[in-house]
Structure 1
Amino acid sequence: MQTAEIRRRFIDYFAARGHTIVPSTPLVYNDPTLLFVNAGMVPFKPYFTGAEDAPYKRAVSVQKCVRTLDIEEVGKTTRHGTFFQMNGNFSFGDYFKAEAIEFAWELVTGSQADGFLGFDPDKVWVTAYYDDDEAAALWRGVGVPKAHIQRRGLKDNYWHMGIPGPGGPCSEIYIDRGPEFGPDGGPEADEDRFLEIWNLVFQTEELSAVRAKDDFDVLGPLPSKNIDTGMGLERTAYLLQGVANMYEIDEIFPVITRAAELAGTRYGKDAQDDVRLRVVGDHVRSALMLMTDGVTPGNEARGYVLRRLLRRSIRSMRLLGVTDPVLPELLPVSRDLMASSYSEVPDQWTRTSQVAYAEEEAFRRTLAAGTQIFDLAAGQARSEQSGTLSGSQVFQLHDTYGFPFDLTLEMAAEQGLNVDAEGFRTLMTEQRERAKADAKAKKGATVASEAYRSLRSSGEVPFLGFTDLNAETKVRGIIADGQLVDRAQPGSVVEVVLEETPFYAESGGQDADSGLITGDGLSLEVLDVQRPVQGLVVHKVRIDDGELATGASVLAAVDAAARHAACQAHTATHIVNATLRQLLGQGTHQAGSYNKPGYLRFDFNATSGLSHDLQQELEGVANEAIRADYPVTATEMPLDQAKALGAQAMFGEKYGDVVRMVELAGPWSRELCGGTHVERTAQIGLLSLIGESSVGSGLRRVEAFVAADAFADLAKERALVSGLAELLKVQPDQLAERVGKLIAQVKAAEKEIAAMRSREILSKVPSLVAGATEVGGYRLVAKELPGLGGDDLRNLAMEVRSVFGSAAGVVALVGGAEKPILTVATTEAARALGAKAGALVSVGAAALGGRGGGRDDLAQGGGSDASAGAAALAAISKALAG
């Protein structure tokens, strides 16, 4: 049974039983505690906790997921995958254990001819939480024999997200694959033979802190008893397709087949090669799905995970002997396999492929640069006669230069060198622990939601700010240090929830409103406005005067000037987005934005920077749109209708069934947006582009001033131009030509100065050669030349060496200023006698309190003791004499 067919049967089964079909959320989700969506229930988390009202009582979905903790295990086991799909059925206070178990049993064991999955009931085993007698009894009731029901503890049969949130005991379904896969005895005996395919979670508790799988604090019961299930689509597929592991299913194996063809091998021929091919199959698909959902390669967070997946794929192919670009061969195969289930894959293909191919080309350059660094490290290891690359050297190659550890091992073995793998792993472990501690600190910083949920239970806080900047209202609640309080005193900073508000909460890239909340003897300055849960607006305020009390009548007044400036910036952001799509093509997509009064920042996908001419055109077209005085309209409509009209949506944003579409000049600019805007584009006044830069692989950023800030920026530039023109005694329109001539004159002068300096330095050659001494059969020039830099020392040493001709000559020069620099050059005859520049530099640099290395003919090093130049030269002389 094909994977897409299993997916269809699962959805159809639950849709026929009253479940609303919910499309998969993008992998990048607006939850600050998660890097990626890692479970099928993530989009439903607010419904489980009661933070939001569920729009349906039952739901079914096939959710895209990524888990990154087991990347190193990918390819080595039958079940570890980075990207996977989770079939799930959900109940929000509707049905509970009995119905969930009955549904699961029927779908799993019902005949395929009737539309079910057709697993043999005799091969089904289940587990239940150790004290969940109800679940065990229900399983027996549907036909599972008592001998096939096992009880397990918190580590195995209690599920949570690994962060504060919903949790509860669970019951898992396993399939017995047969005695050839391991010993008998159920899941407790062997989880390779008995493979878990489905987990039924009975969500009943909210966790306030999570320290480990079986170590957490329970805040209290959830508002309702819920069902959250997850069936691994890939695991189910490889059982129903009769293959040995998840990498051999129909959505992955064709990539492996193509990779094997490129490598000139066959899957199943060599165990180690098979692991590498499985890594390629998994990682290429995972990278494709991440890039489709808007992730771009980078050095932090999500971008780092994607970069690692792509580079592990390329590295694995290299270890299989393929050094040519591989992603153009492999990525299209994965695209064709996933397109039938996810329409966004072909829709985003142009951008995705550009990002991927650019990343591979960058990594190929990294490999070339890393190879040079490796060669230096290998030369140093040989010169020190240790024969081992240190853990710190290998870690630097990996961490700083992105050089894969496996490739380091391979190249070291080729050169007969050992690698301090233990030292490398120690440093990697320390880095991971730092990352875990940082992640844990971020998770621990998540504010307990109890106070917010309590205030939200009184109803949604209406936002009046689209039409009103002032509103008479009442204080619904006060939060101090995460706790609800009745009163707060002057001088304190607290959070306030009003019955309704004109204040815009930060979202969609737009900064929060500022302003005042006043009452009888009361004055609060609004510092920030956020929506910690949907439907609840929370104002962070400083109490300047009076005592604040719950239930107090107040006047909420937005700073009108700041709001108007924010509206100007936000509408200008939409104009920049539309202009970029007009100039670069409709494949250009927003990757992030930020706007505040007077300023905007806009990120977008691109494989190269904008030329100067293109930047000017961007600014010109944007200002034409401003002068055209387009009306700015906002219309609420069904999500499907907005998409049909071509409205752009942001990756990772969560949209309801009804959305707000902001439109400028009809189809020229249509975006889903909940922000505030000017009524007509001419109200923006002016846009002044101030910069364009790279913010990651395949990701660019433009920044601009708008309105009064744009005029001020241009006035500053005008003043600068005027001052320079007066200084250079030319008209402003002649300034560029005059500056160009000055630059040419400066370059010519610098070239002449460099030539004079070179002649001066080379004039030292005769006296240096004349001062050579005989040491151990070598002619040695050893001289301190304070003030000379590294390039000068190197050129001088090579010039002196050339004078020696066929003689066995060695040149050792010490220069530098605050920190000494040592250069050593040797002739061919000297090297034939055993004098190697790299080894001699290491000897001399040690005397300087530093280190060095390089080739046998030319090497350089340095240190920290500027007074030890004579000692360094003496050490080299002694080494030659020996």
Structure 2
Amino acid sequence: MKTADIRRTYLEFFENRGHTLVPSAPLVYNDPTLLFVNAGMVPFKPYFVGDEVAPFNRAVSSQKCVRTLDIEEVGKTTRHGTFFQMLGNFSFGDYFKQGAIEYAWELVTTPQAEGGFGFDPEKIWTTVLTDDDEAFEMWRACGVPAEHIQRRGLKDNYWNMGVPGPGGPCSEIYIDRGPEFGPEGGPEADEDRFLEIWNLVFQTQDLSAVRSKTDFDVAGDLPKKNIDTGAGLERIALLLQGKNNMYEIDEVWPVIARAAELAGKTYGADHEDDVRLRVVGDHIRSSLMLMSDGVAPGNEARGYVLRRLLRRAIRAMRLLGVHDEVLPELLPISRNLMSESWPEVVSNWKRISEVGYAEEAAFRRTLTSGTQIFDVAVKKAKEAGEDSLSGAAAFQLHDTYGFPIDLTLEMAEEQGLQVDRKAFGTLMQEQRERAKADARAKKGGLVNTEAYRELRAAGETPFTGYSELAGQTKVRGMLLDGRPVTTAKAGDVLELVLDETPFYAESGGQDADRGIISGSGLHAEVLDVQRPVAGLVVHTVRVGEGELALRQRVDAYVDSDYRFGARQAHSATHLVHAALRELVGPTAVQAGSYNKPGYLRFDFNANQALSKDLQQAVEGRTMEAINDDLEVSTSMMSLTDAKAAGAMAMFGEKYPERVRVIEMGGPWSLELCGGTHVSHTSQVGLVSMSGESSIGSGVRRVEFLVGPQAFDHFAAERQLVLGLAEALKTQPDQLADRVARMSEQLKAAEKELAAYRTKELLGNVGALVDKAAQIGATTLVAESAPGVAAADLRTLAMEIRARLGERAGVVALVGGSDKPAVVVATTAAARDLGLSAGDLIRVACTELGGKGGGKPDLAQGGGTDATRVPEALAAVREAVTKVDAGR
């Protein structure tokens, strides 16, 4: 059976038995505890933990998943893959243990012609929790021999989420692959021969604390018994397709076959080559699926995972001998393989290919430059008799050349070296501490949600702020330092839950409201508003006067000016998004946003910067929409109808069945959005683009000032223009021409000055040769020439080399200004002694924090740190000395 057919068989089997088919959630999911969806039950977690009521009693899904904890094991075993598809059937207080076991047995053993998988019942083994006699007898009733049912402990056959919440015993289904794969004895003896394909979890208990797989506290029984199962699609496929491992199934193998063809390799002939080919097959597919769900390569979090996968695949191909671009060859193959089950890889192909190919091009440049620095660092380490690379060298490769630390580790291991991970980690931490933390990241840290869940159990917090900015309500709960309290006094900063609230909680990119909460003798300032769990609004407040008490009646007042500014910025964000899609193209899909009074930033997918003309056009198109006074309308509709109407949705956001749709100018701007907005676009006032930048491979960011802040910006620029015009004694409309003429005059003067400086230096060639150092048989001229441009530096170096004549001579000059320029030249006699300009330039540039290259007779480069010119020249002297000593 094809993998897509196995998937279809599973879904149809359970649909025909009353299960609601739930589409896969995107890999990027709105769960702060996860980078990616890593299990089939993740989208159902709110129903299992009680945050939300399940809209169905039973469900079935095929969920996209990514796990990268064991990325180094990919290709080495049959069981480690980064992307996989988890089939699952779920029951929420409906059928329980017997139903789950009977359904599983029926599907697994029914012949394929009759809608099942057709496994031989005699090759099926199952496991149950040690004391789960009930499950044991249920498997016996299905026909599984007692000797094929093994009892195992909590470590293997009890499931929990790793945090407080539901848990329960589980039962697993294994298939015996035959004696060629391992010894007899069932799963207890060997889990390569006996391969697990399905885990049935019987959720029965509410866990109050979880310390490990085998150490947890049980608060009591769940009010409803639930079923959560997970069947590995790739594992079922390898068994039904008669393959040895998951890399050889139909959705992966053609990529491996093409990779082997490109490399001129035969799969199965060499273990190391096979591992590399399997890495390519796995990582190409995983990267495709991540990019199809909107992930772009970057240096943090999800973007880093994707970058790592792509770069590991590209480098594996290089180790196989392929140095040309490989993604244009391999990504389309994976797209065609996955499109039957996941059509979005075709509909999103333009963006996927642009992002992927741009990342490969960037990495090829990184490999070219960074590998030179790596080689120099390795050479230094080995010459010094060290068995490891310094943390500083690894950090420089990461920070300056974009080498992921895992790539440095792999390359170092190939050279027989370790890496000082502790020193590298210290430098990374220092860098993080220097970096300005993003406001959302500060709020997004992982917290224990148990206290929030208890408050949520009393019901969700109704939001009244769409229609009113003030209202009377009651205090439902208070948390001080994460602990429930009944009172709070002046000076306390605490978290407050109200029965209902007009305060908007930060979401959808819109900043939280500000305001006050008052009562009899009470005055408290609202500092922040968040939704730590679905349906619960939590206010961070500072009590200024009086006291707060549980169940106290209070008045809530939203700062109306702050809210209006937020509405302006949020509506402007929608207009900017629409303008970008119109002018840049439909691939300019939102990748994140943040807006607050007076300011918005908008991240979108793009592989190149917006030109100045395009920036102006986007700003102008946004202003045009504002001036058109478009009506901003809000409507509620089903999620299906909203998507059919073309409403834009954010990757990773979870939407209910009924959604709020914001329309501006008809279909031109139609988005799913829960935020607050102006009623007409003219209320936005003004916008002014204040920045355009890259925040990662394939993702750009535009920033705008909005409303009064935009006006202030324009006014400040006007004053600046007027001041410059007055200083230069010209009219404002002639200022650009005046500055251009002055710039030309300055450049001419600088050119003339440089010519005089070069002439002066050339006149001092004899003096420079006379003061040369003699290192053994080699004459070394190593000098600093501040202010001399690279071209003139090259001329000077060649002139000095000519003066050295037949001598073994090396010339090393460092010029430039803020960014040093370096030139190294060698005579023929020096080259005969083993001195190469190309080697020496890398030594100098490394000290300067830069790079360089060239031929043995002449090389040039540059750096970033002008303060280290003496160290660079000293490094050249040391390198020449070592060569002389080694002769």
**Is 1:271 matched up with 2:267?**
no
Q: Percent identity?
A: 64
Secondary structure in 1 matching 2:508: coil
**Is 1:150 matched up with 2:187?**
no
Secondary structure in 2 matching 1:536: coil
Aligned to 1:469: 469
Contact 1:648/1:672 (8 A) holds in 2: yes
Q: In structure 1, how many angstroms separate the alpha carbons of the residues matched to 2:624 and 2:222?
A: 55
- Residue by residue over 1:462-520, the C-alpha shift from the partner in whole angstroms, topping out at 9 and shown as x without a partner, is 11111111111111222222222221112111111111111111100000111111111
Q: In structure 2, how many angstroms separate the alpha carbons of the residues matched to 1:871 and 1:327?
A: 40
Aligned to 2:701: 701
**AA partner of residue 567 (structure 1):** R
- Residue by residue over 1:379-438, the C-alpha shift from the partner in whole angstroms, topping out at 9 and shown as x without a partner, is 6578x486988466984586453558999899999xxxx823334788889999999xx9
Aligned to 1:751: 751
Contact 2:567/2:676 (8 A) holds in 1: yes
Within the candidate set 400, 421, 425, 2:417 is matched to 421
Please list every run of 5 or more consecutive structure 2 residues that lacks an aligned counterpart in the other structure. 432-436
Q: In structure 1, how many angstroms separate the alpha carbons of the residues matched to 2:654 and 2:165?
A: 19
- Residue by residue over 1:445-469, the C-alpha shift from the partner in whole angstroms, topping out at 9 and shown as x without a partner, is 6333332222222222211111111
Q: Structure 1 residues 295-304 or 450-459, which shifts more?
A: 450-459
**Is 1:132 matched up with 2:132?**
yes
RMSD: 4.1
Q: Structure 1 residues 527-536 or 399-408, which shifts more?
A: 399-408
Secondary structure in 1 matching 2:527: strand
Cα separation, partners in 2 of 1:682 and 1:554, compared to 1, 3 Å:
same
Q: In structure 1, how many angstroms separate the alpha carbons of the residues matched to 2:351 and 2:621?
A: 23
Q: In structure 2, how many angstroms separate the alpha carbons of the residues matched to 1:590 and 1:554?
A: 39
Contact 2:27/2:293 (8 A) holds in 1: yes
**Is 1:502 matched up with 2:498?**
no
Q: In structure 2, how many angstroms separate the alpha carbons of the residues matched to 1:434 and 1:787?
A: 32
Aligned to 1:323: 323
Aligned to 2:434: none
Contact 1:782/1:873 (8 A) holds in 2: no
The structural deviation recorded for 1:443 is 13
Cα separation, partners in 2 of 1:759 and 1:546, compared to 1, 3 Å:
same
Q: In structure 1, how many angstroms separate the alpha carbons of the residues matched to 2:202 and 2:734?
A: 77
Aligned to 2:711: 711
Q: Structure 1 residues 820-829 or 351-360, which shifts more?
A: 820-829
- Residue by residue over 1:68-104, the C-alpha shift from the partner in whole angstroms, topping out at 9 and shown as x without a partner, is 0111111221121111000011122333222222221
The structural deviation recorded for 1:763 is 2.5
Secondary structure in 2 matching 1:709: helix
Contact 2:757/2:788 (8 A) holds in 1: no
Q: In structure 2, how many angstroms separate the alpha carbons of the residues matched to 1:537 and 1:775?
A: 75
The structural deviation recorded for 1:879 is 9.0
The structural deviation recorded for 1:144 is 1.9
Spell out the pairing of 1:53-452 with structure 2 (5 A cutoff): 53-162=53-162, 165-205=165-205, 212-214=212-214, 222-374=222-374, 376-377=376-377, 380=380, 384=383, 390=389, 395=394, 399-400=398-399, 401-402=401-402, 419-423=415-419, 446-452=446-452
Q: In structure 1, how many angstroms separate the alpha carbons of the residues matched to 2:323 and 2:876?
A: 44
Aligned to 1:622: 622
Cα separation, partners in 2 of 1:620 and 1:388, compared to 1, 3 Å:
same
- Residue by residue over 1:12-37, the C-alpha shift from the partner in whole angstroms, topping out at 9 and shown as x without a partner, is 22222222211100000111111100
Q: Structure 1 residues 695-704 or 241-250, which shifts more?
A: 241-250
Spell out the pairing of 1:573-584 with structure 2 (5 A cutoff): 573-584=573-584
Q: In structure 2, how many angstroms separate the alpha carbons of the residues matched to 1:254 and 1:614?
A: 41
Contact 1:488/1:547 (8 A) holds in 2: yes
Contact 2:843/2:872 (8 A) holds in 1: no
- Residue by residue over 1:115-155, the C-alpha shift from the partner in whole angstroms, topping out at 9 and shown as x without a partner, is 12121111111112233333223322322222112222233
The structural deviation recorded for 1:54 is 1.6
Aligned to 2:453: 453
The structural deviation recorded for 1:225 is 2.8
The structural deviation recorded for 1:768 is 3.4
Q: In structure 2, how many angstroms separate the alpha carbons of the residues matched to 1:79 and 1:363?
A: 29
Aligned to 1:525: 525
Q: Structure 1 residues 389-398 or 363-372, which shifts more?
A: 389-398
**AA partner of residue 421 (structure 1):** L
Cα separation, partners in 2 of 1:496 and 1:769, compared to 1, 3 Å:
closer
Q: In structure 1, how many angstroms separate the alpha carbons of the residues matched to 2:211 and 2:426?
A: 19
Cα separation, partners in 2 of 1:14 and 1:445, compared to 1, 3 Å:
same
Cα separation, partners in 2 of 1:21 and 1:872, compared to 1, 3 Å:
closer
Q: Structure 1 residues 349-358 or 478-487, which shifts more?
A: 478-487
**Is 1:690 matched up with 2:686?**
no
Contact 1:162/1:210 (8 A) holds in 2: yes
TM-score by length of 1: 0.89
**AA partner of residue 487 (structure 1):** T
The structural deviation recorded for 1:878 is 11
TM-score by length of 2: 0.89
Secondary structure in 2 matching 1:532: coil
Secondary structure in 1 matching 2:537: strand
Q: In structure 1, how many angstroms separate the alpha carbons of the residues matched to 2:724 and 2:225?
A: 73
Aligned to 2:24: 24
Q: Structure 1 residues 794-803 or 730-739, which shifts more?
A: 794-803
Aligned to 1:656: 656
Q: In structure 1, how many angstroms separate the alpha carbons of the residues matched to 2:788 and 2:162?
A: 55
**AA partner of residue 279 (structure 1):** V
Secondary structure in 2 matching 1:4: helix
- Residue by residue over 1:730-778, the C-alpha shift from the partner in whole angstroms, topping out at 9 and shown as x without a partner, is 1111111111111111212222222222223333222233456877555
Contact 2:587/2:606 (8 A) holds in 1: no
Cα separation, partners in 2 of 1:208 and 1:327, compared to 1, 3 Å:
farther
Cα separation, partners in 2 of 1:865 and 1:339, compared to 1, 3 Å:
closer
Q: Structure 1 residues 494-503 or 443-452, which shifts more?
A: 443-452
- Residue by residue over 1:286-324, the C-alpha shift from the partner in whole angstroms, topping out at 9 and shown as x without a partner, is 111100101001111111111111112222222222222
Contact 1:851/1:863 (8 A) holds in 2: no
The structural deviation recorded for 1:873 is 7.7
How many aligned residue pairs are there? 871
Cα separation, partners in 2 of 1:175 and 1:394, compared to 1, 3 Å:
farther
Please list every run of 5 or more consecutive structure 1 residues that lacks an aligned counterpart in the other structure. none
Cα separation, partners in 2 of 1:589 and 1:810, compared to 1, 3 Å:
closer
Q: In structure 1, how many angstroms separate the alpha carbons of the residues matched to 2:303 and 2:255?
A: 23
**AA partner of residue 335 (structure 1):** R
Secondary structure in 1 matching 2:48: helix
Q: In structure 2, how many angstroms separate the alpha carbons of the residues matched to 1:875 and 1:811?
A: 13
**AA partner of residue 26 (structure 1):** P
Cα separation, partners in 2 of 1:524 and 1:327, compared to 1, 3 Å:
same
The structural deviation recorded for 1:702 is 0.7
Cα separation, partners in 2 of 1:397 and 1:182, compared to 1, 3 Å:
farther
Aligned to 1:739: 739
Aligned to 1:764: 764
Cα separation, partners in 2 of 1:246 and 1:427, compared to 1, 3 Å:
farther
Secondary structure in 2 matching 1:305: helix
Contact 1:505/1:531 (8 A) holds in 2: yes
